Amino acid sequence: MSLRIVVTVKYVPDATGDRHFADDLTVDRDDVDGLLSELDEYAVEQALQIADEADDAEITVLTVGPEDAKDALRKALSMGADKAIHVEDDDLHGTDAIGTSLVLAKAIEKAGYDLVISGMASTDGTGGIVPALVAERLGVPQVTLLSEVSVEDGVVKGRRDGDAASERLEASLPAVVSVTDQSGEARYPSFKGIMAAKKKPVASWDLSDLDIEAEEVGLEGAWTAVDSAAERPARTAGTIVKDEGEGGKQLAGFLASQKFI
């Protein structure tokens, strides 16, 4: 029986660019290049490895975002995913984590799935709550923040490294998994993969395809409201000294003056 894997990915503004807010206090996507969130590359990689181990598996990569978000899907397809779904709708602008989880859960159900794999967090919002929200909505086990993951005989197993302990987890499929950047280096797309990706199907769905009303998502439907966003004031220039043999002592002097010693 085929193992149906859905990988959720996000198209995010490049962290090395000058990220800022638009007038409506949503993330300004026009002035900064976007890309597949680095942490989602690990999710694609683990999906590919799990698919390799399975007799028969199909990987669908899913994103919710504007037109440009197709770039993120193309990257995942060129890494080796089989097909893609792009959920795009003008009414989605400004959707928060709770709304995003609704769209993802509806799309995952429509696509059909045995296993959902996500990155541990996006590199822009960094909340890390969407996988848990999707699991809650789908009513399936969450097996999240894994640094190691495998699937065998309809059971997903993994290792979750927390602050206090490292835990071994286990759940029956269907399930929602999220993986950390310790799960294994993500592969680079090969030339062959990039060429093949151009021929892979990308389905486009909008809110009506998912039976979601416009009021449930977007800025109007958001469960939170951003009142203000202020750029952090530039730090006042600090004191910089060159070590000429006394650098450590000078630094100790500074720490003492600040009462740290």
Partner 1 sequence: MAEVLVYVDHVDGAVRKPTLELLTLARRIGEPVAVALGNGAADTAAALAEHGATRVLTHDAAEYADYLVVPKVDALQAAFEAVSPAAVLVPSSAEGKEIAARLALRIGSGIITDAVDLEAGDSGPVATQSVFAASFTTKTRVSKGTPVITVKPNSAAVEAAPAAGAVEALEVTFGALATGTKVTARTPRESTGRPELTEAAIVVSGGRGVNGTENFAIIEALADSLGAAVGASRAAVDAGWYPHTNQVGQTGKSVSPQLYIANGISGAIQHRAGMQTSKTIVAVNKDAEAPIFDLVDYGVVGDLFDVVPQLTEEINTRKG
What part of residues 212-231 is at the interface with partner 1 (CB under 8 A)? 222-231
Of residues 46-85, those binding partner 1 (CB under 8 A): none
Q: Quick one: angle between helices 130-138 and 97-111, nearest 10?
A: 50
Choosing from 22, 54, 111, 132, the residue that interacts with partner 1 (CB under 8 A) is: 132
Asked whether 115 and 60 are in contact (CB, 8 A), the reply is no
In the complex, minimum distance from the CB of residue 171 to partner 1, in angstroms, rounded to a whole number: 4
In the complex, minimum distance from the CB of residue 232 to partner 1, in angstroms, rounded to a whole number: 6
Of residues 78-97, those binding partner 1 (CB under 8 A): 96-97
Q: How far is residue 187 CA from its own chain's centroid?
A: 17
Q: What is the gyration radius of the CA atoms in the chain, in angstroms? A: 22
Cβ partners under 8 Å of residue 240, min gap 6: none
In the complex, minimum distance from the CB of residue 195 to partner 1, in angstroms, rounded to a whole number: 31
The DSSP 8-state label assigned to residue 243 in this structure reads -
Choosing from 92, 133, 151, 217, the residue that interacts with partner 1 (CB under 8 A) is: 133
What residues does 36 pair with on adjacent strands?
A: 11
Query: Residue 109: which H helix or E strand, with range?
Result: helix 97-111
Choosing from 26, 49, 123, 150, the residue that interacts with partner 1 (CB under 8 A) is: 123
Region from 108-116, 141-149, 192-200, 208-216 binding partner 1, contact rule CB under 8 A = 141-149
In the complex, minimum distance from the CB of residue 22 to partner 1, in angstroms, rounded to a whole number: 12
Cα(58)–Cα(96) distance, integer angstroms: 29
Choosing from 68, 136, 206, 209, the residue that interacts with partner 1 (CB under 8 A) is: 136
Choosing from 19, 110, 187, 200, the residue that interacts with partner 1 (CB under 8 A) is: 19
Query: Residue 118: which H helix or E strand, with range?
Result: strand 115-119
Choosing from 118, 144, 151, 205, the residue that interacts with partner 1 (CB under 8 A) is: 144
Of residues 150-209, those binding partner 1 (CB under 8 A): 157, 160-172, 175, 180-182
Residues that bind partner 1 (rule: CB under 8 A) add up to a total of: 82
- Sign of the CA dihedral 245, 248, 251, 252? negative
Coil vs helix vs strand at 191: helix
Tokens of 121: 């967090």
Nearer to partner 1, 77 or 212 (CB): 212
